[in-house]
Amino acid sequence: MSEKTIFQEIIDREIPAPLVYEDDLVAAFNDVNPQAPTHVLIVPKKLIPRVGEAVADDQATLGALLLAAGKIADKLGIKDRSKGFRLVINHGADAGESVPHLHVHLLAGRNLKWPPG
């Protein structure tokens, strides 16, 4: 991939976006098109196009995404709420992927139906 994704531009501070969370492996920011009152995108700093393209060497980064989700939920005061939160990873256009850079959606603040539609 020769062009940077919008997420890489945010991580590189080429596009301004207030970060909700950041560590050595991931960055997180609010989704510009939120699907719930809380909608945070958790993105690895390393470009992994989608979860199905991750390799064994990406194991620490994949774990960091989920650990960051728990830290962010705690920071936002939604971790211990009985109502909870949802994590979503899309793979491919039919799943709703719009940016070819692996990311986890953290959604909360409304009743999230099952099955998702």
For residue 74, give every residue at least 6 positions away whose Cβ sits within 8 Å of its Cβ, in sequence order, or none.
80
103 is catalytic: yes
How far apart, in Å, are the Cα atoms of 48 and each of 16, 26, 52, 82, 100?
A: 22, 12, 9, 33, 8
**Active-site choice (39, 91, 101, 103):** 103
Say which amino acid occupies 19.
L
Instruction: List active site positions.
Output: 103
